[in-house]
Amino acid sequence: QRPLRRLLSCPGTVAADLRREEQSSGNAETGSEDRTPKKRFSELQNERREQAQRTVLIHCPNKINEKKFLKFLSQHGPINTHFFYESFGLYAVVEFCQKESVTSLQNITRTPSLGPEAAIPFKSRYFNLKLRNSVNQTSELSSIQCSNQSSPSSKKLYQLLCCAESVDDQLNTLLREFQLTEENTRLRYLTCSLIEDVAAAYFPDCAVRPFGSSVNSFGKLGCDLDMFLDLDEIGKFTAQKTSGNFLMEFQVKNVPSERVATQKILSVIGECLDQFGPGCVGVQRILNARCPLVRFSHQASGFQCDLTANNRIALKSSELLYMYGALDSRVRALVFSVRCWARAHSLTSSIPGAWITNFSLTMMVIFFLQRRSPPILPTLDYLKTLAELLLKEFFEYFGNFAFNKNSINIRQGREQNKPESSPLHIQNPFETSLNISKNVSQSQLQKFVDLARESAWILHQEGKDRPSPSSNQPWGLAALLLPSVTNNVPLSKKKKKPASERIKNLLDSIKSSGAENSIATNGR
Ligand code: GTP
Ligand code: MG
* Residue 513: predicted pLDDT: 44
Which numbered ligand comes closest to the C-alpha of 361?
1
CA dihedral 217, 221, 222, 224 (to 10 degrees): 10
Q: Which atom from ligand 1 is nearest to the alpha carbon of 314?
A: 20
- CA distances from residue 347 to 356, 449, 491 in whole angstroms, order as listed: 6, 10, 15
pLDDT digits (tens, 9 = 90+) for 169-188: 899 999 999 999 999 999 99
Ligand 1 atom 26 nearest Cα: 436
Question: Is 393:330 a contact under the CB 8 Å cutoff?
Answer: no
* Residue 167: predicted pLDDT: 87
What integer best gives the mean pLDDT of the chain?
80
Q: Which of 340, 397, 344 is nearest to 523 (CA)?
A: 397
* Residue 108: predicted pLDDT: 92
Ligand 1 pocket check for 357: Cβ under 6 Å: yes
Q: How far is ligand 2, taken at its centre, from the CA of residue 227, in Å?
A: 9
Burial class from Cβ neighbours inside 10 Å (0-12, 13-18, 19+) for residue 23 reads exposed
Task: Give the chain's largest Cα–Cα span.
Answer: 86
pLDDT digits (tens, 9 = 90+) for 98-146: 999 999 999 999 888 777 778 888 889 999 999 887 665 555 556 788 8
Tell me the residue ranges of DSSP E strands in 221-338.
225-230, 280-286, 293-298, 303-309
User: DSSP class of residue 297?
Assistant: E
Q: How far is ligand 2, taken at its centre, from the CA of residue 5, in Å?
A: 24
* Residue 305: predicted pLDDT: 97
In 3-state terms, the chain is what percent helix, strand and coil (to 5)? 45, 15, 40
Q: What is the ipTM of this complex?
A: 0.96
Q: Which residues of the chain have pLDDT under 70?
A: 1-38, 134-142, 235-240, 328-329, 374-387, 462-472, 483-524
Radius of gyration from C-alpha coordinates of the chain: 26
pLDDT digits (tens, 9 = 90+) for 52-86: 999 999 999 988 899 999 999 999 999 999 999 99
* Residue 321: predicted pLDDT: 84
Cis amide leading into 374 (omega within 30)? yes
* Residue 131: predicted pLDDT: 87
CA 294 to chain centre: 19
Q: Which of 55, 53, 25 is nearest to 39 (CA)?
A: 25
Q: Which of 246, 218, 248 is nearest to 330 (CA)?
A: 218
Q: What is d(CA 272, CA 482) in angstroms, rounded to the nearest whole number?
A: 44
* Residue 265: predicted pLDDT: 94
* Residue 236: predicted pLDDT: 61
* Residue 504: predicted pLDDT: 52
Ligand 1 atom 20 nearest Cα: 314
Mutation test residue for ligand 1: of 4, 221, 226, the one with most atoms within 8 Å of CB: 226
Ligand 1 pocket check for 317: Cβ under 6 Å: yes
Q: Which atom from ligand 1 is nearest to the alpha carbon of 224?
A: 4
* Residue 255: predicted pLDDT: 93
Q: How far is ligand 1, taken at its centre, from the CA of residue 426, in Å?
A: 13
* Residue 137: predicted pLDDT: 55
Ligand 1 pocket check for 318: Cβ under 6 Å: yes
